Amino acid sequence: DEARTSVGLLVKYHEDFEKRYARRLAIISELKHALVSAQSELKMVYQPKLELKAGKVTHAEALIRWNSSTLGFVPPDEFIGIAEQAGLIGQVTDFVIKTAIIDAKRIVESGLDICIAINLSAKDILNPKLLSVIEQHLKHYQVDASRLSFEITESDLVADPKKAVDELNRFREMGFSLAIDDFGTGYSSLAYLKQLPVSELKIDKSFVLKLAEQSSDQQIVQTILELAHNFQLGVIAEGVENQQSLKLLKEWGCDWVQGYHVCRPIDVEDMIQWCLQNAQTNWFE
């Protein structure tokens, strides 16, 4: 009986493995296709970051969306990692940067004072050509460097700390502000954190989603706020899904919030309309 169970498990394991492998191959091949086919399957959406002191949107995060004609919607959490491993992330990032810069121009022209935050993966940061590509696009579309900022995931930085610090310094020298994304999930030491040339920490949404109910999350978030502010770093809380969380974060001196409660990620024209309509909204009553 036991033997039968292990054989069953083995078969199951093998089937799961094959399924995952097939899915991976499909994603790689379809993504290659999407990247050259006028890129209409890929688009960018934007999620506002609300600055709590003034109650104003000062930044918006650019998030990629892929609607594949054969695979349907594929979430970035699934395909970005595969793109990195398959050597396709450079092309994905080229698309992201170019589109975000074009949209940043559109946002400025609409009269809004909003900076676009672009997510970069570890492989991007180590790409020596990335900064010059960004510069070229900024110049070509006549967008000021101050209109862009970048988010880098904490666990990516921890993989090669020394190298990461060097590369991030090059971004800072060009005048871009940098945030550590998913903070609290990557085990960076305090000593390391102090060396990083970043200006903001973004608290991972796993600590924020149930903030109002979970006292352990409240303690973690308050501790991160105190730590970050002692280091003169701004703090963004992502995953704010209700008014109680927003109120707590404001009370504790969090600098920015982002989440479905404020606004979902939406396309650039919708975001511009949303920002214009919500310019006078009082978020705290």
The residue ranges that bind ligand C2E (CB under 6 A) are 47, 62-64, 75-77, 80, 96, 119-121, 151, 153, 181-182, 205, 238-241, 258-260, 265
CA distance 212 to 248: 8
Place of tokens 């990620």: 265
Place of tokens 């070509």: 140
Select from 96-104, 174-182, 213-221, 227-235 the region that touches Mg ion (CB under 5 A): 174-182
- Using CB under 5 A as the binding rule, whether residue 182 contacts Mg ion is answered as yes
CB of 151 to Mg ion, least distance (A): 4
CB of 166 to ligand C2E, least distance (A): 20
- The CB-nearest residue to ligand C2E is 259
Binds 64, which of Mg ion, ligand C2E, none (CB < 5 to 8 A, cut-off by type)?
ligand C2E
- Using CB under 5 A as the binding rule, whether residue 156 contacts Mg ion is answered as no
CB of 110 to ligand C2E, least distance (A): 22
CB of 18 to ligand C2E, least distance (A): 26
In the list 167, 181, 217, 255, the residue contacting Mg ion (rule: CB under 5 A) is 181
* C-beta closer to Mg ion: residue 8 or 75: 75
* C-beta closer to ligand C2E: residue 8 or 87: 87
In 3D space, the residue among 252, 191, 255 whose CA is nearest the CA of residue 54 turns out to be 255
Contact between 151 and 122 under an 8 Å Cβ cutoff? The reply is no
- Using CB under 5 A as the binding rule, whether residue 124 contacts Mg ion is answered as no
* C-beta closer to ligand C2E: residue 121 or 149: 121
Q: Hey, what amino acid is at 27?
A: I
* C-beta closer to ligand C2E: residue 172 or 264: 264
Q: Burial level of 89, CB count in 10 A (0-12/13-18/19+)?
A: buried
Select from 22-30, 175-183, 216-224, 259-267 the region that touches Mg ion (CB under 5 A): 175-183
| Separation of first and last alpha carbons in the chain | 64
Rg, C-alpha atoms of the chain = 20
100 vs 23, 43, 65, 192, 257, CA distance in Å? 29, 10, 13, 30, 21
Report the 3 state secondary structure along 172-202.
HHCCCEEEEEEECCCCCCHHHHHHCCCCEEE
Contact between 156 and 135 under an 8 Å Cβ cutoff? The reply is no
CB of 119 to Mg ion, least distance (A): 4
* C-beta closer to ligand C2E: residue 8 or 261: 261
Lookup: tokens for 258: 């982002």
Lookup: tokens for 42: 């890929």
CB of 159 to ligand C2E, least distance (A): 15
CB of 185 to Mg ion, least distance (A): 9
Three-class SS state of 44: strand
Binds 184, which of ligand C2E, Mg ion, none (CB < 5 to 8 A, cut-off by type)?
none
CA distance 227 to 207: 16
- Using CB under 5 A as the binding rule, whether residue 151 contacts Mg ion is answered as yes
- Using CB under 5 A as the binding rule, whether residue 245 contacts Mg ion is answered as no
User: Which residues of this chain interact with Mg ion, rule CB under 5 A?
Assistant: 119, 151, 181-182
